[in-house]
């Protein structure tokens, strides 16, 4: 039980830090692209105007409407830069807070990860029942996470549930197998 909770906190922290660093890196990259686009607008405005023109031409605009769009966008420097970030680089303007995202990741990881540890509190069940109940709870947690994910990504509920169950079950099986093999290698009973 102690190892389970220690591992849960360590893994949760690792996931939170990874999430924090990824979002921070995305933010820094978006900022770098913004600075680069501002520099291009200053140095080569005609080329950047043509890029805007080509973007909206590919979207089906032409003639006077196309020129009106280009003029409107290029009159607002911030809009011009944002349009280039989105259209040329595929970067959305949604900014996530790295610290908040890390905290949410850590909290949800702890909640979901604690579920399979619950049977360990009931020592009267015996080790085999605890193990099987823990396995069933882990499977239910993975399947539920997949089902919730289906709501966000508009995928079929059962497919998403089983997909997450398969992925999570594989990871859990790998962890169990590693522990089992190490126990055997070191002769721990």
Clarify whether residues 21 and 101 are in a common domain.
yes
Distance from the first to the final alpha carbon of the chain: 16
- Calculate mean pLDDT across residues 150-179: 94
Last-in-domain residue among 55, 83, 114: 114
Clarify whether residues 40 and 76 are in a common domain.
yes
Q: For the segment 58-70, what is each residue's pLDDT rounded down to a tens digit? A: 999 999 999 999 9
Pick left, alpha or beta for residue 19 (phi over 0 → left; psi -120 to 50 → alpha; otherwise beta).
alpha
Clarify whether residues 98 and 178 are in a common domain.
no
> What is the pTM for the complete model shown?
0.72
189 — pLDDT class (breaks 50, 70, 90): confident
Query: What's the pLDDT score for residue 31?
Result: 92
Residues above pLDDT 90, as percent of the chain: 85
Clarify whether residues 134 and 167 are in a common domain.
yes
Last-in-domain residue among 114, 148, 176: 114
Q: Look up residue 76 and give its DSSP letter.
A: S
Query: What's the pLDDT score for residue 65?
Result: 96
pLDDT at 172 over 80: yes
- Calculate mean pLDDT across residues 167-173: 94
Clarify whether residues 72 and 144 are in a common domain.
no
Clarify whether residues 69 and 17 are in a common domain.
yes
188 — pLDDT class (breaks 50, 70, 90): confident
Query: What's the pLDDT score for residue 99?
Result: 95
Clarify whether residues 43 and 69 are in a common domain.
yes
Clarify whether residues 30 and 70 are in a common domain.
yes
- Which residues span the domain enclosing 164? 122-189
Clarify whether residues 9 and 89 are in a common domain.
yes
Clarify whether residues 135 and 184 are in a common domain.
yes
**Least confidently predicted of 3-7, 30-34, 48-52, 167-171:** 3-7
- Calculate mean pLDDT across residues 10-24: 95
Clarify whether residues 53 and 106 are in a common domain.
yes
Q: How many domains does the chain have?
A: 2
Q: For the segment 106-162, what is each residue's pLDDT rounded down to a tens digit? A: 999 999 999 999 999 999 999 999 999 999 999 999 999 999 999 999 999 999 999
Q: What tokens were used for 30? A: 């978006």
Clarify whether residues 63 and 127 are in a common domain.
no
Q: For the segment 69-118, what is each residue's pLDDT rounded down to a tens digit? A: 999 999 999 999 999 999 999 887 778 899 999 999 999 999 999 999 99
Last-in-domain residue among 66, 89, 114: 114
Task: Identify which of 35, 71, 78 has the alpha carbon closest to the alpha carbon of residue 53.
Answer: 71
CA 159 from centroid of its chain's CA atoms: 19
Q: What are phi and psi of 66, to 5 degrees?
A: -60, -45
Query: What's the pLDDT score for residue 42?
Result: 95
Query: What's the pLDDT score for residue 163?
Result: 96
């Amino acid at each position: 039980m102690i190892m389970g909770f220690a591992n849960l906190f360590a893994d949760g922290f690792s996931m939170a830090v990874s999430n924090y660093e990824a979002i921070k890196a995305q933010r820094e990259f978006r900022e770098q692209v913004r600075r680069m686009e501002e520099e291009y607008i200053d140095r080569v405005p005609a080329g950047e105007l043509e890029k805007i023109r080509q973007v909206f031409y590919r979207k089906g605009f032409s003639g006077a409407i196309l020129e009106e769009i280009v003029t409107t966008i290029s009159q607002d420097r911030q809009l011009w830069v944002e349009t280039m970030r989105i259209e040329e680089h595929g970067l959305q303007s949604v900014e996530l807070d790295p610290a908040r995202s890390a905290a949410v990741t850590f909290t949800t990881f702890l909640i979901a990860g604690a579920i399979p540890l619950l049977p360990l509190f009931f020592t009267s069940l015996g080790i085999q029942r605890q193990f099987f109940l823990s396995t069933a709870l882990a499977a239910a947690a993975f399947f539920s996470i997949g089902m919730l994910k289906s709501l966000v990504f508009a995928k079929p509920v059962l497919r998403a549930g089983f997909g997450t169950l398969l992925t999570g079950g594989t990871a859990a099986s790998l962890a169990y197998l590693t522990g089992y093999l190490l126990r055997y290698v070191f002769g721990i009973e």
